[in-house]
Structure 1
Amino acid sequence: MQIDFLGMQAFLCIVEHGGFLPAATHLNLSQTAVSHRLRKLEDSLGMKLLTRTTRSITLTDAGRALLPRVRSAMQELERSYDTVRQHTLDAPPWLVVGCLPTLAISQLAPVLRAFARRYPEVAVRIMDDSISEIAEHVHNGAAAFGVSLASSNRYGLDMEVFAQEPFVLACPPDHPLARSRCVEWEQLRGETLIRISLPAGNAATIDDALGERRLSFRWIYETQHTSIALDLVANGLGLTIVPALSARNVPGIRTCALQAPHVARELAIVTRRGARLAPPAQAMRELLAEGIRRNLADLDEYGA
């Protein structure tokens, strides 16, 4: 059942303001528009609510029965509106940021702590989504910016590459390859491998780097999320290839650098074309980029 709120509003205004002209003035509408709204409400109910003469309006029996209910409903709507409006005024400002899950899960906590010290009054919402979803959030203004991968995008977003993150081999601590500092892809032939597919976007990066060679490896399992693939590795079900930061300090996981070929992904900040970030958003952007670059430098210094 559809509720004709506009019709009920017109009906209430006509009664409370004493006629169609004052009701039209109050609603900033023409008399014709007010009459149309009332007629539409009466047609939907199948009965007349008002009897109109050249000098006055009179409630019908149906109108008298409906009036207190309409008045109560409208008053409740006004109270609800005021409540929501006051909540909006009192609520802290939100900073919304898009971020790839593989980075969000490993990089956000220290950045958010540092940000909270600078802007304790700003609440932060993280949209940990896929590359395409982050682009859409930024494009439609839902997110101030996104931390994503450098790639073409249909929205024409500005894209600033700020780091390269290598892919590494993740394996259980007791696996023979876990003792290696660096592993070549050829050493993975015959190993049980876990592929990470969409929506992460990592599979495409690996496939592009390996070319036809990718078909010669034993991809026995496939997941859509890095965290699940790493859990399978920790439980001894196989090995996987992941962005280096996503496997940093994960219990039950050892990582090794991968060579021949070296595979890496370009990390980028995406913003709307020509957009200028507010100071809190700019601070968050700088903290994220600096934190990720620093952690990548630590990986280079101490090994994967």
Structure 2
Amino acid sequence: MNVTLRQLHVFQSVATTRNFSRTGDAVGLTQPAVSRSITELEGQLGLQLLNRTTREVTLTAAGQRLAARLPRVLEELESTLQDVQDMATERRGRVRVASSPTLSANLLPDCIAQAQVRLPGLELVLLDRMQSAVLASVLSGEVDFGVVIDPGERDALHCESILTEPFCLACLPGHRLARKRQVRWSDLQGEPLVLLDHDSGSRRLIDRALAEHGVAHTVAQEVGHPTTIFRMLDAGLGISVIPTLALPPEGLARLAVRPLVPRVDREVMLVHRRNRALSPIAQAAWDLVKAVAAQRTGAG
């Protein structure tokens, strides 16, 4: 059965007015279009709903039964459709976001703070995880979206780049490389490196840059969080290549930080499952994270 909402509205009006002309004026149709709509409805139902003469329009028994129930049905349907439509502007609810440690520490706090001001009905819940776990939680549907370093493999993901940032060198102030204003990748030759482990989205990019510049090196330690790297550098265990966002806003008082040249960037991305649309409130959170990242880029 292929009954349309317009056909039902037309019938309801005819049942009320008992006049095709007045119904046409009420619903914005010509009299022939009203008649055609009623005929099509009757054809779909397989029943005559109206008795038509040149002098009057009356309801058949089937028409009376439909007319008695139709207002409640249409009211319920229109209320349901309005509720669904209101979701387009809904700005209340919980959004779960997974993020890797450097982004959780240095980008997401600003996002959560701005959400409280700009979207007070949004509860932004952060899951702080290593990148491999972030991607797993996105693909499983545990979270609405993730904030990650370019994952490389994107077949199952919708990705949007929001920020690029360079890698830099961190070392003790007395180290030979701290005397340079900028450090070439080749200058790292032979140095013991303390690096983020392979669960980090950055490690793949660091290893590729070292290989491209032919840097022979030893990995003194592999750790999961930049804060651990800084403590190991303090202890004299080596030097490190770190993303700029890993640096605390107040800087590193006991370490020297130098730009690495030629510049190698990592790309920060928002990701969600491909072919799975975000809810309106999750889309609002996605857009807010983009806006905060854009502010950071502009400030830099």
- TM category (shorter chain) comes to 0.5 to 0.7
Given that 2:166 and 2:266 are in contact with CA atoms closer than 8 Å, whether structure 1 keeps it comes out as yes
CA distance in 1 between partners of 2:137 and 2:216 (Å): 38
**Judging changes above 3 Å, is the alpha-carbon distance between structure 1 residues 290 and 254 closer, same or farther for their aligned structure 2 residues?**
farther
Q: Mind listing any 5+ residue stretches in structure 1 that lack a counterpart?
A: 1-91, 300-304
- What CA deviation, in whole Å up to 9, does each residue of 1:223-261 have, x standing for no partner? 23222112222444321101111114343343211114x
CA distance in 2 between partners of 1:114 and 1:138 (Å): 23
| Partner SS for 2:143 | coil
Partner of 2:275: 274
| Partner SS for 2:107 | helix
| Partner SS for 2:267 | strand
Partner of 2:9: none
- What CA deviation, in whole Å up to 9, does each residue of 1:3-26 have, x standing for no partner? xxxxxxxxxxxxxxxxxxxxxxxx
* TM-score between both structures, scaled by the size of structure 1: 0.60
Superposition pairs of residues 1-304 of structure 1, within 5 angstroms: 93-153=93-153, 156-178=156-178, 180-211=180-211, 216-249=216-249, 250-251=251-252, 252-260=254-262, 262-299=263-300
1:190 deviation in Å? 4.0
Partner of 2:75: none
CA distance in 1 between partners of 2:223 and 2:132 (Å): 19
CA distance in 2 between partners of 1:254 and 1:298 (Å): 22
1:212 deviation in Å? 6.6
**Judging changes above 3 Å, is the alpha-carbon distance between structure 1 residues 179 and 248 closer, same or farther for their aligned structure 2 residues?**
farther
Q: Mind listing any 5+ residue stretches in structure 2 that lack a counterpart?
A: 1-91
CA distance in 2 between partners of 1:147 and 1:290 (Å): 13
1:99 deviation in Å? 1.0
**Judging changes above 3 Å, is the alpha-carbon distance between structure 1 residues 162 and 179 closer, same or farther for their aligned structure 2 residues?**
same
CA distance in 2 between partners of 1:174 and 1:134 (Å): 37
* TM-score between both structures, scaled by the size of structure 2: 0.60
1:125 deviation in Å? 1.7
Report the AA paired with residue 261 of structure 2.
Q
- What CA deviation, in whole Å up to 9, does each residue of 1:138-164 have, x standing for no partner? 222211111112234476111112222
CA distance in 2 between partners of 1:182 and 1:297 (Å): 23
CA distance in 2 between partners of 1:221 and 1:136 (Å): 26
Given that 1:119 and 1:280 are in contact with CA atoms closer than 8 Å, whether structure 2 keeps it comes out as no
Larger radius of gyration: 2
| Partner SS for 2:112 | helix
| Partner SS for 1:181 | coil
Given that 2:182 and 2:259 are in contact with CA atoms closer than 8 Å, whether structure 1 keeps it comes out as yes
Report the AA paired with residue 259 of structure 1.
V
| Partner SS for 2:195 | strand
1:222 deviation in Å? 2.4
Report the AA paired with residue 131 of structure 2.
I
Question: Taking every aligned residue pair, what percent have the same amino acid on both sides?
Answer: 29
Report the AA paired with residue 119 of structure 1.
L
CA distance in 1 between partners of 2:109 and 2:153 (Å): 28
